[in-house]
Amino acid sequence: MRAVRISACAVIAVIAMVLLISAARSGSSYLDIHASIKDRIERIFSTLPGDSYIRQAHFEYLRASGRGHFNQVTFLTDGRLMTDILEPNIYLYERANAIAQLRDYLYDDGVPFLYVRVPNKIENNSMIPLAFSDNRIIENADRLLELIRTEGIDTLDLRAEMMRENMDFAKSFYRFDIHWTTETSLWASKRTGEHLVSEYGFAIDTSVWEYGNYESITFENVWQGNEARYSNARRTFEDITVLFPRFETNIMMTNRAFEVWREGCFIDVFTPRIRDEHIERLGFLDIGLTGDNFSHIFNFNANNDKKVLFIADSFGMTKATFLVLGFERLDSLYLVNHYTPLVLWDIIDENEYDIVILAVSDDVVSLEQRETFEDDRLFFGYPRH
């Protein structure tokens, strides 16, 4: 270890001498010299050579040694990974009251409200290692849903829908990432649309969410999930299937001020990177919404004039791309701590929505560690009037 330190110090000293000599010739100030040296050193030593291999070796050691939990990631017994906070702060009553307050505010203007429960990646706790079997992610979300229903709020429980259809939870989510796959996101959009037709009488063409109406491309070993990164699996990748409509689409996405970010067909707006012939890696933003935390999305080929406000966590970033195909316009608000309360009520007042949908994942319910509810992700602030 000492030899390494001496070698590093020697390299730093040489860099410093070279920069000092060149700086003296150019008449640079000491502060300029110092800043330049600091920048060079940080760029050289910010990443250890072979860092990804070293981290991967640590990940393999964790698996081989039977480790059940590391850096907020649980190693499930079937080999998958699951983001998990062992002692979260659960503001169930405060959250239920906040959601009810939002519903009441909308109802005063005659706008319907729907709460959608988004499941996490385990069907039950049987896949959790015995030492961590007191995990209550599912139960916490069950309880929140019960409190919301007690308030008389309309709900759609996608976990219950998945179990009713005998869907395989292990295949509906990525192995090493917290999110659902694009196929599951499309299915969730279809179930949401069908609920709006049956419960609210919306005249929506639900065939826009039929799987058979989509082309698919599967990219092999390009997706590195966030749970893989958290647990040091820096060289573990998995496949990802990207879906896009077979039918003609004409979409435009803008920011809150209606300045255009992207426009064109579905691929142009949501997944332009899949046209790259030399894709080596794909990230979460390559298959979902990009840009600001709030966006207007216009579907010029819609067969109706419905306008929806879709409030969601990161699961909604892919769901929104499919959901908009059923409406003339979908406004997407991404749930962000401290940001949502600043904009939510103004957004509602500025626009005339036909329905507001709040989609919250079980993970968000149980993965917060905030000291007060005002810092919680489901704190919406207070209405302007």
* Residue 57 within a domain: no
Q: What pLDDT, on the 0 to 100 scale, is given for residue 131?
A: 86
Asked if residue 381 is part of any domain, the answer here is no
Give yes or no: residues 178 and 213 share one domain.
Answer: yes
Higher-confidence residue of 181 and 1: namely: 181
DSSP state of 291: S
Give pLDDT, residue 4: 42
The predicted pLDDT at position 41 comes to 57
Torsion of Cα atoms, 187 then 193 then 194 then 195, to 10°: 110
User: CA torsion 85→88→127→129, rounded to 10°?
Assistant: 70
Residue entry with tokens 């910010």? 46
Kindly state whether residues 131 and 236 are assigned to the same domain: yes
Asked if residue 382 belongs to a domain, the reply is no
pLDDT tens digit sequence for 259-270: 999 999 999 999
Q: In this structure, are 17 and 126 located in the same domain?
A: no
Mean pLDDT of 323-337: 97
| Domain extent at residue 10 | 2-46
Pairing mode, strands 69-70 and 73-75: antiparallel
Mean pLDDT of 178-207: 97
Classify residue 258 by burial, with Cβ atoms within 10 Å: 0-12, 13-18, 19+: exposed
143 occurs within a structural domain:
yes
What value does the mean pLDDT take over residues 232-251?
96
Residue 23 shares a structural domain with residue 159: no
pLDDT for 1 equals 40
At 264, give phi and psi (nearest 5°).
135, -145
List of residues 6+ apart from 109 with CB closer than 8 A: none
Is 54 inside a domain boundary? Answer: no
Q: Are residues 29 and 156 in the same domain?
A: no
> Do 154 and 225 reside in the same domain of the chain?
yes
- C-alpha triplet 309, 315, 317: angle, nearest 5°: 60
Residues 179 and 89 both lie in one domain:
yes
Same domain, 13 and 161: no
d(CA 69, CA 85): 10
For 71-110, how does the pLDDT look when each residue is reduced to its tens digit (9 = 90+)? Answer: 999 999 999 999 998 888 889 999 999 999 999 999 999 9
Please give the C-alpha separations between residue 108 and each of 100, 112, 330, in angstroms, as whole numbers. 12, 10, 21
Place of tokens 């000599």: 21
Does residue 324 sit within a domain? yes
Reading the block at residue 16, the tokens are 């410093």
Q: How many domains does the chain have?
A: 2
368 close to 143: Cβ distance less than 8 angstroms: no
**One domain, residues 179 and 37:** no
Indicate the average pLDDT of the chain: 90
Pick the closest to residue 284 from 341, 207, 228 (CA basis): 228
Residues 182, 252 within the same domain: yes
- Assign residue 329 a region (left: φ > 0; alpha: ψ between -120 and 50; beta: otherwise): beta
Q: How far is CA 152 from CA 139, 241, 281, 298, in A?
A: 20, 38, 45, 31
Residue 248 and residue 298 in one domain: yes
Q: 0.75 cut: is pTM over it?
A: yes
**Could you tell me which of 193, 21, 2, 211 has the C-alpha nearest to residue 114?**
193
Phi–psi pair at 216, nearest 5 degrees: -135, 145
Per-position b or e across 207-226, b if 16+ CB within 10 A of its CB: ebbeeeebeeeebeebbbbb
Tell me: do 24 and 109 sit in the same domain: no
Convert the pLDDT of each residue in 53-63 to its tens digit: 888 988 998 89
pLDDT of residue 169: 97
3-state percent breakdown (helix, strand, coil) of the chain, nearest 5: 45, 20, 35
Question: What is the rounded CA–CA span in Å between residue 84 and residue 87?
Answer: 9
Please identify, among 31, 46, 61, the residue that sits at the C-terminal boundary of a domain.
Answer: 46
* Cβ 269 vs Cβ 251: under 8 Å: yes
DSSP 10-58: HHHHHHHHHHHHHHHHHT--HHHHHHHHHHHHHHHHSS-TTHHHHHHHH
